[in-house]
Structure 1
């Protein structure tokens, strides 16, 4: 009966896919070397293929995925992972100094320029460009890679952006979404939504500096890359502001509520998949954790084995004091004298672990995917941000009362122990995590289905230009009403000038009259 039922569901899925949208040719361009990014991006592209579409994905990862219905072709960015691994050997993120916001802009732009040029210059991408194939839609992973957006025009497809985080200054201006620095914290600033005056002041300065740097420095360099590697390409400005859809990997349960124009769609949690069975050793370990368990992972891009000795010892000493068991994603064989309540491995099935009822706490780097998964399974967190958007996610966990934040450079044995004790023993953290889990799960449609629907919608309605807001047709001074305010201030200035003249004239007449009276 179960087999028959599965076959029935499969046929419903197949028929629904055919009825929903005819097969489309879709190109996905995702050059980021971080596996956490690829997990999200490939999940989207695989589901599009399963829905019956002809999918091509450009990325550094090879899987040879066989879809249930459509087709799935990989164009591999060979050498990217090897080059990234070499750079990672020379960089220890734990020892990185604290960057101020302006230096962070420079660093992110530099990475973006290098990644974009290497992608377009890659021989496999050049072969695709030379093939002059046509695609109905081109999905680009949004990360300081504006030249890649020109591929949509070149291949004749509608431009769709996938943002691995929510709305931000990096993407808002491309679709005319309001992004006032008074209530929209910049990702790299890590402020709460309700900012103090000082925070609003600094947030505004950062926003202004960021936009000036993008317009005067970053965009011209991206435009040069676009014209160098893509023949007969459109100008970057035309490519940038021709976005049909933005898929935001965010949701109100894990990020601050924000305004979105009609072409921006929240799909946070779309990558959450049905749970697999835990390996028996892990299942037994968690089942036998009668006092509870902690899961500790710093993600796919940061290796715990590279921790400085003092920080590693702080974690070991704290875990030794606990009655809870610990699962620690650690990339080397653990030492023989490590505490008996710690189990390590280079990789753990994260979602399956977070779903186990004995897990009481997730110590995380605060990556967005990890935060989403923690919220989905109702697990409170201690966020130890290392770089990027992780600080913002940590602030949100703390302000949302489903976690605590701990700066990496400030870790000591005592403040780590006190935070663990607070999370485990104060009920509000678990209660708030459960509430947010309900919010994330209570959706009118599964976020993956929503993503597929809107991609097909954009293709069906030839770019869905009816979703574009009028602000995209305005110049920057019109958008900020400088021409209107300028005229108003000019009018006020003229009125003040006239009143001053009248006042001077009347005052002079009165003074002359008084002088004449004195003479008499």
Structure 2
């Protein structure tokens, strides 16, 4: 009888503590959702009831995980981008973000299942929203009258700073799309000012305005999206200061970088044989799920192949076609590779990467030094963090030559460098709470205390007060008054003296 009573108590407690959670992930980027999926499945594993709007429905969802699928409505982004970097490509990123943000909003709101859910107004304890290229999902959360937790799979976007009250100073804060890290040159600081203005203006005046109009076609009471964005309870930021450095984050911005990395599994088949027979270890090459390695210009490809011939290590490369004819004893290529399992293998000595946040966190998780060659998005900022933290070195596309690549590989494979990376990895893991546990905890915390606001006062201060413009004007006005008074006093004194001199001259003349 006592056992039955205990069982019922446990069941009732579990039932009472389970939350109804809505996840909204309208962006079609596979690399983004790959990170979020781990967090969502863990929420379900811990007994919470999930409804998830995304382009990536689960094939075998848990019984408490319900998909509202957007699959098939937009082409999934995978192996679409070429290896190229220029000012033009950075400007094109702004257009891409605007275009996809607008499209994501329209597709999501046009979905019948989404509309039916909003009309039925089910009770959700929390809404988890990806913070990337659109705030459209905040309109849905508003209609459902539910508090919001934001999540990212990358560093902050330019428009996130002001809404969260996070200081942005181009002299020491890395910029999402540009080089320079925390130690930019004068030219790089000038670039940051221009591109920061570009990305924020195009987001505020194009993306948000478009999303606001799209929402207005369905609902007539949605407040300004920027106001809703300031109401986000917590932002779970895919950072950790061990890699990205110390930042000035308010209490409602929580660093949870690294929670998606799973335990490495044993390799199988030809790949296992190729790696385990590598007497001098292997170097792994991958430019992620969006950038096509096979789009490397011929001279850059020859630089990589030349480095392979010069070094004794074997290479494993995520390569999307079968046109490259090389020594099969030297290079293993395939269009999909188990990256975590390769990075977790003791024979993997280095990782040549585009510096995407997913692969970078996997590298530091397993203590594998990196040669980072950024292409697009947050990769330039990540590459700078890789070098500044000591995880690896960065090599820009324009500098990719045979000799430069060989030098970079030799540097990161030096025993002392690798020893430091292992220590860095140890610090990465040494946290009071594992990142996935932290992400879950703060999600549940936001639901428990949904009536409270945890944002910093800096998020609500008008710009003129934030930069102390009013104080400066008062002091300038006082200074001008003092100068004017002093000038008037001098004028009076000079005028009196002039009259006295004039009177003396008249007396003397008489």
2-structure distance, mates of 1:496, 1:206? 40
Partner of 1:380: 369
Gaps of 5+ in 1: 1-10
Q: Paired residues, what number?
A: 501
Q: Is the contact between residue 401 and residue 428 of structure 1 (CA under 8 Å) also seen in structure 2?
A: no
- How many Å apart are 1:17 and its aligned residue? 11
Encode CA deviations 1:440-483: one digit per residue, 9 max, x unaligned: 11011111011111100110112542x23223333222333322
Alignment of 1:480-491 (within 5 A): 480-491=467-478
Encode CA deviations 1:351-370: one digit per residue, 9 max, x unaligned: 11111111111011110011
Partner of 1:434: 422
Partner of 1:416: 405
2-structure distance, mates of 1:83, 1:364? 22
Q: Does 1:355 align with 2:344?
A: yes
2-structure distance, mates of 1:30, 1:347? 24
Partner of 2:433: 445
Q: Which range is displaced more, 505-514 or 331-340?
A: 331-340
Partner of 1:283: 272
Q: Does 1:399 align with 2:388?
A: yes
Partner of 1:94: 83
Distance 1:57 1:428, change over 3 A: same
Equivalent residue in structure 2 for 1:511, among 498, 504, 510: 498
2-structure distance, mates of 1:243, 1:234? 14
Encode CA deviations 1:118-151: one digit per residue, 9 max, x unaligned: 3333444334333333321111111120222222
Q: Is the contact between residue 167 and residue 258 of structure 1 (CA under 8 Å) also seen in structure 2?
A: no
Distance 1:378 1:180, change over 3 A: same
Q: Does 1:153 align with 2:142?
A: yes
Partner of 2:444: 456
Partner of 1:175: 164
Distance 1:26 1:92, change over 3 A: closer
Q: RMSD value over aligned CA atoms?
A: 2.8
Distance 1:323 1:173, change over 3 A: same
Distance 1:477 1:220, change over 3 A: farther
Q: Does 1:41 align with 2:30?
A: no
Q: Does 1:53 align with 2:40?
A: no
Q: Is the contact between residue 283 and residue 315 of structure 2 (CA under 8 Å) also seen in structure 1?
A: yes
- How many Å apart are 1:289 and its aligned residue? 1.4
TM-score when normalising by structure 1: 0.88
Q: Does 1:22 align with 2:42?
A: no
- How many Å apart are 1:187 and its aligned residue? 1.1
Q: Is the contact between residue 21 and residue 456 of structure 1 (CA under 8 Å) also seen in structure 2?
A: no
Alignment of 1:195-210 (within 5 A): 195-210=184-199
1-structure distance, mates of 2:194, 2:324? 48
2-structure distance, mates of 1:151, 1:407? 41
TM-score when normalising by structure 2: 0.90
Q: Which range is displaced more, 151-160 or 493-502?
A: 493-502
Partner of 2:75: 82
2-structure distance, mates of 1:18, 1:279? 43
- How many Å apart are 1:49 and its aligned residue? 0.7
Encode CA deviations 1:320-362: one digit per residue, 9 max, x unaligned: 3321111111122364544521111221111111111111110
- How many Å apart are 1:163 and its aligned residue? 1.7
Partner of 2:230: 241
Distance 1:203 1:79, change over 3 A: same
Encode CA deviations 1:168-210: one digit per residue, 9 max, x unaligned: 5332222222333332222122222133444444434444454
Higher RCO (CA 8 Å, separation ≥ 6 residues): 2
Specify the SS of the correspondent of 1:511.
helix
Distance 1:384 1:195, change over 3 A: closer
Q: Which range is displaced more, 95-104 or 443-452?
A: 95-104
1-structure distance, mates of 2:367, 2:357? 15
Q: Does 1:319 align with 2:308?
A: yes
- How many Å apart are 1:25 and its aligned residue? 1.1
Alignment of 1:209-220 (within 5 A): 209-220=198-209
Partner of 2:3: none
Encode CA deviations 1:83-117: one digit per residue, 9 max, x unaligned: 657xx7xx652256543766644443333233333
Distance 1:491 1:225, change over 3 A: farther
